[in-house]
Structure 1
Amino acid sequence: MAGESSSASSPVTVEELTLTVKWSGKEYTVRVCGDDTIGELKRRICEVTNVLPKRQKLLYPKIGSKLADDTVFLSQLPLKSSLKMTMIGTVEDDIIVDQVDSPEIIDDFELGQEEPVDIKDKEVNQEKLRRRIDRYKIELRNPCREGKKLLVLDIDYTLFDHRSKAENPLELMRPYLHEFLSAVYAEYDIIIWSATSMKWVELKMGQLGVLDNPNYKITALLDHLAMITVQSDSRGIFDCKPLGLIWAHFPEFYNSKNTIMFDDLRRNFVMNPQNGLTIKPFRNAHSNRGTDQELVKLTQYLLAISDLDDLSILDHKNWQSYDEEHPKRRRHA
């Protein structure tokens, strides 16, 4: 079955390939498709080797420098099943990602008015989502609770300033984080989804005291391997966080009507634009810590909408004016 074409001469197909990657004296088998990118191939390699995509250098004589471009589709390369390539890379065992080396994506962008609809409805992207659902396993840290809505939270610049330097990570935690999570936990299950490695997610959330707080529980943690790569006509290729992955794993608990996602990058919820709220980024923690009230205000919003049967009908872009137009159903203590 053919997918969308990235160019007239290089159609993107969904033909499945089984590749062999040689690394550290061993061979690893990865399955990919023609409509996957080099970046997606690196994610698959990360799953079996634990070498983060940014640490990988792929070598294959017939392809050369194209393997360094994460946005290139595999269908545009002379690949065939049973091909063997070499990977050079190091597992980050002792130190997770330091301040200088951690992912930095500040330049968010607005898509055209109709593009989010086109992106989420494209068959090639739906097929990528189906493959991700099949391959990515969500491990529950705590049981899903019947009757609760779902809040999905980003980490970097949402809960934590990951770029400023500090001797103690608590100095970089967004103000009122624990108060926020404690209050909304009454109405929402909480899943944390970061575009970094699971090791980094667990380390940072552990350092901030999020994983063992007695006043709330985290349902699950998701990492970069749960993301998919999509293509925009105007903005090219980028990664995003499809909520359909969570809904498919727990259909009896979560769906498009009871889920809301907070992220400082609106591109991350392009597959579910009706469920995303773009949070104000928390940067320069040392100078902004005393004035940042974003989580206090968002607590009020989440509690105010928690009785609604369908959150997807709301325009979350206008969340700050919601309380002025609708009496609060519950007030944040």
Structure 2
Amino acid sequence: MVLEAAGCSASTSQESGEELTLVVKWVGKDYTVRVCGDDTVGELKRRICEVTNVLPKRQKLLNVKKGSKPADDSMLLSGLGLKPAIKISMIGTVEDEIFVDTVDAPEVLDDFELGEEDTTDIKDKDINKAKIQRRVQQYKLKLLNPCRPGKKLLVLDIDYTLFDHRSTAENPLELMRPYLHEFLTAAYAAYDIIIWSATSMKWVEVKMKELGVLGNASYKITALLDHLAMITVQSESRGVFDCKPLGLIWGKLPEFYGPNNTIMLDDLKRNFVMNPQNGLVIRPFKKAHMNRGTDQELVYLAEYLLAIGDLDDLSGLDHKNWEKYSEQNKRQRHQ
């Protein structure tokens, strides 16, 4: 299936802050895709996915090139010399069905450390703040259950956080992190819960249903977020990568959540580079068959979440020391 996109804008995408509007023609209909020069090719693919449902990994953009070679997903559009009137041809197919197994599940790269100066530079850049505002305007957040006034917010990753997505099993429940439902039940007393995965929404929904998370009688999930809610940022030391900006949620639901009452659990530290104060790096859950008998990470994290759940403001906490805080709180309760 071939898609053609005709671009139009007041200026070229060579100016990184300028918006490039693409009129996308696909199966007889016109769609509008808006990107900026400071976005990457990967971001362009996400925007196309939003309107066509063709996953980025299934897209091949034939004439988006760097010189004579196809442009890599990490390349900035501003460096490709795209003109306002360019027509982009894409070969791609919508996946009508999804098979959630080790072949279809997305790969997760190893995490990397960012220096403090690098992190500060990324989160304070006006370019990245503008990207979040665009995402707030563009992303369609669907609430599965109402936000509860007075509750804090817990944002959870899936792969290697709640589920070992790379091991094989006859039943997905064999790859679920131990104590998952007990953890979510305990957390729900003080927190609304949002699941955010760097994968497609179809995969998120299928996986959460398979694990019995959606429709559970003991707790409720407020919303599901997918890869389209992420933004691309650039650092001096690590180049271009994707992250999960909590500012999207705060911008969508400002009357309920903000920096003072939100905590995110993710096995990749880089995912909360825009909100380092709100992130807690969870130990990755891998090799489920070997480790599910001993892994108690969610048990201890539930204790920590409940220990800080009564605080009026979470912004002063250093989540790097969560285990020490939890242990001190436990000793105080028994004195």
Task: Report the TM-score, using the length of structure 2 for normalisation.
Answer: 0.91
Equivalent of 1:242, from 242, 245, 258?
245
Q: 1:34 to 1:277 in 2, by over 3 A?
A: same
* 1:52 maps to 2:62: no
Q: Which residue of 2 aligns with 1:5?
A: none
Output the CA distance in 2 between the equivalents of 1:50 and 1:203: 16
Equivalent of 2:180, from 177, 182, 189?
177
Range with bigger deviation, 118-127 or 322-331: 322-331
Output the CA distance in 2 between the equivalents of 1:150 and 1:62: 42
Structure 2: 5+ residue stretches without partners: 1-12
Equivalent of 2:16, from 13, 18, 23?
13
Q: Which residue of 2 aligns with 1:77?
A: 80
Identity level (%): 74
Output the CA distance in 2 between the equivalents of 1:297 and 1:67: 47
Task: Report the TM-score, using the length of structure 1 for normalisation.
Answer: 0.92
Task: In structure 2, give the amino acid aligned to 1:19.
Answer: L
SS of alignment partner, residue 311 of structure 1: coil
2:101 touches 2:168 (CA, 8 Å); kept in 1?
no
Please give the residue correspondences for 1:85-96 in structure 2 after superposition, counting only pairs within 5 Å. Answer: 85-96=88-99
Range with bigger deviation, 10-19 or 168-177: 10-19
SS of alignment partner, residue 198 of structure 2: coil
Q: Which residue of 2 aligns with 1:134?
A: 137
Output the CA distance in 1 between the equivalents of 2:24 and 2:32: 6
Output the CA distance in 2 between the equivalents of 1:65 and 1:28: 28
Please give the residue correspondences for 1:193-272 in structure 2 after superposition, counting only pairs within 5 Å. Answer: 193-272=196-275
Q: Which residue of 2 aligns with 1:7?
A: none
2:192 touches 2:222 (CA, 8 Å); kept in 1?
yes
SS of alignment partner, residue 297 of structure 1: helix
* 1:321 maps to 2:328: no
Task: In structure 2, give the amino acid aligned to 1:254.
Answer: Y
1:303 touches 1:330 (CA, 8 Å); kept in 2?
no
Output the CA distance in 2 between the equivalents of 1:177 and 1:128: 33
SS of alignment partner, residue 43 of structure 1: helix
Which whole-Å deviations, capped at 9, do the CAs of 1:25-56 have from their partners, x for residues lacking one?
A: 66543111111110000000000110111110
Output the CA distance in 2 between the equivalents of 1:319 and 1:71: 34
SS of alignment partner, residue 131 of structure 2: helix
* 1:35 maps to 2:38: yes
Q: How many residues align?
A: 322
Output the CA distance in 2 between the equivalents of 1:242 and 1:229: 10
Please give the residue correspondences for 1:94-113 in structure 2 after superposition, counting only pairs within 5 Å. Answer: 94-113=97-116
1:307 touches 1:329 (CA, 8 Å); kept in 2?
no
Output the CA distance in 1 between the equivalents of 2:332 and 2:47: 45
Q: Which residue of 1 aligns with 2:301?
A: 298
SS of alignment partner, residue 315 of structure 2: helix
Task: In structure 2, give the amino acid aligned to 1:112.
Answer: G
Q: Which residue of 1 aligns with 2:288?
A: 285
Q: 1:112 to 1:66 in 2, by over 3 A?
A: farther
Output the CA distance in 1 between the equivalents of 2:64 and 2:120: 40
Output the CA distance in 1 between the equivalents of 2:65 and 2:107: 32
Structure 1: 5+ residue stretches without partners: 1-9
Task: In structure 2, give the amino acid aligned to 1:139.
Answer: K
Which whole-Å deviations, capped at 9, do the CAs of 1:112-166 have from their partners, x for residues lacking one?
A: 1222111110011001111111100211000000000000000000001111111
SS of alignment partner, residue 116 of structure 2: coil
Output the CA distance in 2 between the equivalents of 1:258 and 1:252: 12
Output the CA distance in 2 between the equivalents of 1:196 and 1:189: 21
